[in-house]
Amino acid sequence: MKISLFQKRIYKSYNNPGVMGQKDRLSDSWIIELVEKLRFSAANLPDPNEMSEFDEESLPEELKPFAYAERYIRGKAKPIAVITGIETENFPPADKLSEPQTEFLFTEMMRTLHAYCFDADFPKGLPVELKYKLLRKKWNREAVYTGEGVTCFEFCDYEPSRCPFPEEFCWCKDFDDW
Q: Tally the domains of the chain.
A: 1
Domain carrying residue 66: 5-175
pTM here is: 0.80
Reported as a pLDDT band with limits 50, 70 and 90, residue 175 is: low
User: For a pLDDT cut of 90, what percent of the chain falls above it?
Assistant: 63
Whole-angstrom Cα Rg for the chain: 19
- Whole-number Cα distances in Å, 178 to 122, 159, 172: 22, 13, 11
Q: What is the DSSP string of 54-116?
A: --GGGS-GGGGGGHHHHHHHHSPPEEHHHHHT--GGGSPPGGGS-HHHHHHHHHHHHHHHHHT
Under 8 Å between Cβ of 26 and 34:
no
pLDDT in tens, 85-125: 999 999 999 999 999 999 999 999 999 999 999 999 998 99
Looking at residues 48-71, what average pLDDT do you find?
A: 92
Higher pLDDT, 163 or 178: 163
Q: Using the predicted structure, report yes or no on whether residue 3 has a pLDDT greater than 50.
A: no
Q: Using the predicted structure, report yes or no on whether residue 2 has a pLDDT greater than 80.
A: no
Position 111 scores a pLDDT of 98
